[in-house]
Amino acid sequence: MRQLDVEDIVKEIAAESNTPVSLVSKMYAETWAAYSEGARVMDYLTVLVTRRVREDLRSDRNRLQ
């Protein structure tokens, strides 16, 4: 299975959440910075960051309804 690069992940999240790519990209970068600071193992960081960004967008959408 081909590993997705960050740009593909950001575009996928933006499309599924109907959120501008620029906002998702910013959220992804900020979350990556927060999660990677002090991390010793980076193997699953992409998965964790992707999950957090999706959850944050869902949470924001639910809060606005």
The predicted pLDDT at position 62 comes to 74
CA angle 32, 14, 62 (to 5 degrees): 90
pLDDT tens column, 6-52: 999 999 999 999 999 999 999 999 999 999 998 998 899 999 999 99
The predicted pLDDT at position 60 comes to 82
The predicted pLDDT at position 65 comes to 63
Whole-prediction pTM: 0.87
The predicted pLDDT at position 2 comes to 53
Q: Output 63 or 1, whichever has higher pLDDT.
A: 63
Query: Where are the domains positioned within the chain?
Result: 6-64
d(CA 43, CA 54): 19
23's tokens: 């906002």
